[in-house]
Structure 1
Amino acid sequence: MSDIADVSLAYAGVKRIEWADRTMPVLRQIRDRFAAERPLEGLRVAACMHVTTETANLIRTLQAGGAQVALAASNPLSTQDDTAAALAAEYGAQVFARAGIDREGYYRHIHQALEIGPDLVLDDGCDLVNILHLERTDLLAGVKGGCEETTTGVIRLHQMAREKALRFPMVAVNDTDTKHMFDNRYGTGQSTLDGIIRSTNTLLAGKTVVVAGFGYCGRGLSERARGLGARVVVTEIDPVKALDAALQGFAVMPMSEAAKAGDVFITVTGNREVITGAHLAAMKDGAILANSGHFDVEIDVRALEDLAVAVHRGVRPQADEYVLADGRRLVLLAEGRLVNLAAAEGHPAAVMDMSFADQALACAWLAAAHATLEPAVHEVPKEIDTEVARLKLASMSIAIDALTPDQEEYLRSWRLGS
């Protein structure tokens, strides 16, 4: 049994899912392989992920491998109701997701997905894993392992592991080279700016764009904002990343200084209160606030509400205007939630092709290897990352060189010098 908004949307959802599938050739090849090999035969998978067309194609791949899947949404603003309907009505998944559902409904849906009694779990932000460990401990013994998709979730998992709280192995899919490169850098870079432009129709050329955080996502954002003609300011807490940003030609300063200069602010750190009330109070009239971190805690929205004497909801799609006592206006996008999914469509399917290929192959690896793994955070095996990159290159008709036997021998030997 599913909980979706409108089953009549299923036909439209199928069309969108199939459109996305056209630009997901790697996942399509893995789906064909899974259908032949059935590496997930008889396994139950509970997933908490963005309910989008790209995720739907991952679910189809897991099903082709023999899995039974129950899916809950990892963000109520990113749920595509037509996709949810198609997955439930046409593709045979259990789906618990409705666009815009409240906090109580969000957590109810995760609990409903867990009723499948999972052997494997897929998470995007660690909420499902968190609930398993805090509220549904009766299910823990049956969980063989799982995968985590995003930076925020990996941070939480590492803390659980440090505290010896994690009860089963989790694979940090987020940390693969292919996901860092495609998903975090190119995907977040493009889709975040897409969401900002859709919701505000602002011209970025000539604007000062402040990017909080210079990890892979922050780098992608900074590069693409500069490409659109913006002056980019980076804020960081990590000296190495700050130095990297400076050497790439970006201005680097504390948020207390950047707050006075910025026209557009984008948080992408995985931490809370990156933009505080003091920062908000210093911002110029018309400043735009967007978050592309997983949870809606990076911008202190409560402080913004306290500063405001009036709030104009929906001045643009996914844009609310907060009026301060002196007449200055600050525009918050997507309620401080993931702007690229709430105000746009998230990453292009070609980007998620890589991430979900990693995800699918990691699930198959876990199904085979879980008994040998400790309850800890594990890296995706290098051969999986390499295989995904190889398949992607092949789909792009790109060939690369291979080592000759002499070159392999040279790399293995310490005796050969100059």
Structure 2
Amino acid sequence: MDRALVEAGELRIGWAARAMPVLTALGERFAEQRPLEGLRIAACLHVTAETAVLMGALRAGGAEIALAASNPLSTQDDVAAALGEYGIAVHARAGVDRDTYYGHIHRALDLAPDLVLDDGCDLVNTLHTERTELLGGVRGGCEETTTGIIRLRQMAAERALRFPVVAVNDTRTKRMFDNRYGTGQSTVDGILRATNTLLAGKTVVVAGFGYCGRGVAERARGLGARVVVTEIDPVKALDALLQGYDVQPMAAAARDGDVFVTVTGNRDVIRGEHLAVMKDGAILANAGHFDVEIDVRALDGLAQAVHRGVRANTDEYVLADGRRLLLLAEGRLVNLTAAEGHPAAVMDMSFSAQALAVAWLVREHTSLAPGVYDVPEEVDVEVARLKLAAAGVEVDELTAEQERYLRSWRTGS
């Protein structure tokens, strides 16, 4: 083992832990209570310093862990090396191809897990399609992303899902803190690192106005950009309009934009007909999940030449008429490829909810049928309460009279 790599990873993990007081406190609680004693966990997550703090908390709770990467371009090799020293089996390496990526997922599943943690549903999908012999031993799982939950709900609707899964992404704290503030900041961070472009005065097109898209739009507007939103949901489109954003179909926005950010969880959001009319120098970035939101194959087909690595994480596609389109991070997650993902303070809340959801699953799995479950409200509230306490912030409490008033339907106005 390269000691320099391990030491670099330990420094990175230690730096992240400074900004993750809630998860650190939960790790101490888990070390004392050992709620995961003797259990095996297979995880498919971004192998970053913040994930390492989560792995440490679960390990302190008594779990044996095998970790694969949920995105080969987001893996921090120094963190992977350091985790190996902590007794966690890591099957991940930065920049691997698709076959190796899935090979790593299979190696994590070789642990024969009792519990699974997923980020995008690739591990759960592999379990249900290629490793079905392991399904009987899985008590439950957690899913971290909107994209993954969409896939899981479809599996549940088709009665294909074989165990209970907690939708960690759907908590109030996750949507507000992680999806909106985390994705907003880290996506803009990735675009700026990759291109060093000035956003002030530019037209930034944000495809999708969910919590993540809202965060990207807010941060881009805060830096002086004119923001155009594209949507398929009339309610979200109306929300964007009433917040002061221009709302256009992608066919119109494609001619108008300087920077494009897809944040939908769907495929082919930017297609060949859109690419064909974009300005010279247009920047294309994805902050959804998989590398299918921007049709990279169509871009390859339109290009007469491709200049790889004109900047780090930036490829230049030259079209027949000389226009140049800049694709960031190969169409993968720009915030985890060109930048470092969400700040640790953001992941403190998301991963704390994840850790508490795992402990809840261990206690409750025998009473849960296969399906997708919301995180219990008490878990969400506890995470927020712990985060406020770590920040030294106090909030009001209901008086006895207020509680009685809220419980009574007989009191008039």
> Helix, strand or coil for the counterpart of 1:282?
coil
Tell me the equivalent position of 1:120. Answer: 115
Name which of 305, 312, 316 aligns with 1:317.
312
Would the aligned equivalents of 1:189 and 1:217 in 2 still touch at CA under 8 Å? Answer: yes
Would the aligned equivalents of 1:225 and 1:232 in 2 still touch at CA under 8 Å? Answer: yes
For residues 41-63 of structure 1, the C-alpha deviation after alignment (integer angstroms, 9 at most, x for no partner) is 11000000000000000000001
> How does 1:390-405 map onto structure 2 within 5 Å?
390-405=385-400
For residues 172-217 of structure 1, the C-alpha deviation after alignment (integer angstroms, 9 at most, x for no partner) is 0000011101110000000000000000000000000000000000
Name which of 24, 43, 58 aligns with 2:54.
58
Letter in 2 for 1:52: T
For residues 8-27 of structure 1, the C-alpha deviation after alignment (integer angstroms, 9 at most, x for no partner) is 51111011101100000010
Would the aligned equivalents of 1:8 and 1:85 in 2 still touch at CA under 8 Å? Answer: no
Post-superposition offset of 1:6: 5.2
Tell me the equivalent position of 2:181. Answer: 186
Post-superposition offset of 1:307: 0.3
Letter in 2 for 1:21: A
Tell me the equivalent position of 1:67. Answer: 63
Change (3 A) 1:7 1:116: farther
> Helix, strand or coil for the counterpart of 2:276?
helix
Would the aligned equivalents of 1:190 and 1:221 in 2 still touch at CA under 8 Å? Answer: yes
> How does 1:238-249 map onto structure 2 within 5 Å?
238-249=233-244
Post-superposition offset of 1:7: 6.1
Q: Aligned partners of 1:54, 1:125: CA distance in 2, in Å?
A: 17
Q: Aligned partners of 1:60, 1:294: CA distance in 2, in Å?
A: 25
Q: Aligned partners of 1:64, 1:410: CA distance in 2, in Å?
A: 43
Letter in 1 for 2:52: A
Task: Report the number of matched residues.
Answer: 413
Q: Aligned partners of 1:50, 1:23: CA distance in 2, in Å?
A: 18
Post-superposition offset of 1:332: 0.2
| Identity of matched residues, % | 74
Name which of 31, 34, 44 aligns with 1:35.
31
Structure 2 residue 278 is matched with structure 1 residue 283: yes
In structure 2, stretches of 5+ residues that fail to align are none
> Helix, strand or coil for the counterpart of 2:290?
coil
Post-superposition offset of 1:254: 0.1
Q: Aligned partners of 1:7, 1:200: CA distance in 2, in Å?
A: 33
For residues 126-153 of structure 1, the C-alpha deviation after alignment (integer angstroms, 9 at most, x for no partner) is 0000000000001000000000000100
Tell me the equivalent position of 1:176. Answer: 171
Structure 2 residue 245 is matched with structure 1 residue 268: no
Would the aligned equivalents of 1:6 and 1:81 in 2 still touch at CA under 8 Å? Answer: no
**RMSD across aligned positions (CA):** 0.7
Q: Aligned partners of 1:218, 1:25: CA distance in 2, in Å?
A: 28
For residues 103-144 of structure 1, the C-alpha deviation after alignment (integer angstroms, 9 at most, x for no partner) is 110000000000111000000000000000000001000000
Tell me the equivalent position of 1:214. Answer: 209
Structure 2 residue 26 is matched with structure 1 residue 26: no
Letter in 2 for 1:31: G
Post-superposition offset of 1:250: 0.3
Q: Name segments (4+ residues, structure 1) moved above 3 Å.
A: 5-8
Q: Aligned partners of 1:244, 1:7: CA distance in 2, in Å?
A: 52
> How does 1:375-386 map onto structure 2 within 5 Å?
375-386=370-381
> Helix, strand or coil for the counterpart of 1:323?
strand
Change (3 A) 1:315 1:56: same
Name which of 69, 73, 76 aligns with 1:77.
73
Post-superposition offset of 1:269: 0.0
Structure 2 residue 107 is matched with structure 1 residue 108: no
Q: Aligned partners of 1:10, 1:74: CA distance in 2, in Å?
A: 21
Tell me the equivalent position of 2:220. Answer: 225
Tell me the equivalent position of 1:11. Answer: 7
Would the aligned equivalents of 1:309 and 1:324 in 2 still touch at CA under 8 Å? Answer: yes
Tell me the equivalent position of 1:308. Answer: 303
Q: Aligned partners of 2:120, 2:281: CA distance in 1, in Å?
A: 31
Letter in 2 for 1:64: A
> Helix, strand or coil for the counterpart of 2:90?
strand
Post-superposition offset of 1:260: 0.3
For residues 341-368 of structure 1, the C-alpha deviation after alignment (integer angstroms, 9 at most, x for no partner) is 0000000000000000000000000011
Q: Aligned partners of 1:115, 1:11: CA distance in 2, in Å?
A: 28
